[in-house]
Amino acid sequence: HTHNIIRGDTYERIISNINKSLHKKLLINYTINKKNEKEIEQFCYEISKIEKIKGIFFYFYTPYHGIDDLYLGFDERKNIIKRILKLKKTGYKILNSKAALMGIYNDSWKRPNKLSYLYANNKLYQCCRAIGTSEICKHCGYLGFTEIYYIAKLNPNAIYSA
């Protein structure tokens, strides 16, 4: 698994902890990057076998320190969104709404936005840690913020998916 290459040899331990967990409704956040994007379908299949996991929410890697070997360009993201939509249509429990995914696909969502907040390192940030840095905003991968944007616009698909 690419997970182990990026985050250390922890994948099996995480799956073991999920299986031991007393929680009955767990969610997975999967940050897509250039190194793990080829594993999305296999990951969805593997996770679908774990009854406690009620869904996967996808994000894209955000290049806070500049474009690097994890970053996916706009066209690459578009192709991945097509794949995610296909997986969603197939029945995998993908929590991203079609509305928000299409907003990313068409690059039609407003950022930064004043509806989203991020808490990190004991600090609350409006939108994210890089607010006001247009180059980072341009490549934003926080798909949760896209969901909030479309819910606030009263998009029925985003509201229903929430």
Tens digits of residue pLDDT in 79-118: 999 999 999 999 999 999 999 999 999 999 888 777 788 7
pTM given for the model: 0.86
Dihedral-angle region of residue 66 (phi above 0 means left; psi in -120 to 50 means alpha; beta otherwise): left
Judge contact between 125 and 118, C-beta under 8 A: yes
What is the radius of gyration, based on Cα positions, of the chain? Answer: 16
pLDDT band at 37 (very low <50, low <70, confident <90, very high): very high
Q: Report the pLDDT value the prediction gives residue 82, as an integer from 0 to 100.
A: 98
Q: Report the pLDDT value the prediction gives residue 138, as an integer from 0 to 100.
A: 83
Tens digits of residue pLDDT in 126-142: 777 777 677 777 888 88
Judge contact between 38 and 76, C-beta under 8 A: no
Q: Residue 116: in which H helix or E strand, if any? A: none
